[in-house]
Amino acid sequence: MQAAVVTGVSRGLGEALAIALLAKGFHVIGIGRSSSDALGGSNYRFVVCDLAYPTRIAAVVTPALHDVATTKPSSVTLINNAAVAYPVGVVGKLDIATAEEALAVNVAAPLALSDAFLSAFPDDALARRIINISSGAAQSAIAGSTVYCMSKAAIEMQTKALAAEHTSSRFRCITLRPGIFETGMQSFMRSHDPADFPSVTMFRGFKENGLLKSPAEVAVRIVERLVQADVEHGKTYTQQEL
67 in any annotated domain? yes
Is-contact 2 20, C-beta < 8 A? no
Is the predicted pLDDT of residue 211 greater than 90, yes or no?
Answer: no
Please state which of the ranges 70-74, 136-140, 184-188, 230-234 shows the lowest mean pLDDT: 184-188
**Mean pLDDT across 177-203:** 79
Name residues whose C-beta falls within 8 Å of residue 56's C-beta, 6 or more positions apart in sequence.
Answer: 49, 50
CA–CA distance, 155 with 2 (Å, rounded to integer) = 25
Identify the CATH number of the domain in which residue 236 sits.
3.40.50.720
198 in any annotated domain? no
* CA 236 from centre of chain: 14
Percent of the chain clearing pLDDT 70 (strictly above): 100
176 in any annotated domain? yes
- Describe the strand order of the beta sheet including 171-177 as a list of residue ranges: 44-48, 27-32, 2-7, 75-80, 127-133, 171-177, 236-238
Q: Which of 97, 147, 21, 203 lies closest to 7 in space, CA to CA?
A: 21
95 in any annotated domain? yes
Residues β-bridged to residue 30: 6, 46
Percent of the chain clearing pLDDT 90 (strictly above): 81
Number of folded domains that form the chain: 1
CA–CA distance, 10 with 183 (Å, rounded to integer) = 11
Q: In Å, what is the CA distance from 104 to each residue of 32, 55, 115, 117, 170?
A: 14, 10, 15, 18, 29
Q: 24-61: per-residue pLDDT in tens?
A: 999 999 999 999 999 999 999 999 999 999 999 999 99
220 in any annotated domain? yes
195 in any annotated domain? no
Is-contact 155 108, C-beta < 8 A? no
Q: Which of 185, 173, 78, 177 lies closest to 121 in space, CA to CA?
A: 78
The whole domain housing 224 covers 2-181+214-241
CA–CA distance, 192 with 50 (Å, rounded to integer) = 26
Q: 2-17: per-residue pLDDT in tens?
A: 999 999 999 999 999 9
Q: 68-115: per-residue pLDDT in tens?
A: 999 999 999 999 999 998 899 899 999 999 999 999 999 999 999 999
CA–CA distance, 211 with 163 (Å, rounded to integer) = 33
**The pLDDT value given to residue 197:** 81
Give residue 208's pLDDT band: very low, low, confident or very high (50, 70, 90).
confident
The pTM score is 0.93
CA–CA distance, 74 with 119 (Å, rounded to integer) = 17
193 in any annotated domain? no
Is the predicted pLDDT of residue 214 greater than 90, yes or no?
Answer: no
Give residue 124's pLDDT band: very low, low, confident or very high (50, 70, 90).
very high
186 in any annotated domain? no
Tally the C-alpha atoms within 13 A of residue 241's C-alpha that lie toward its C-beta.
15
Give the SS3 label for residue 68.
helix
CA–CA distance, 119 with 121 (Å, rounded to integer) = 6
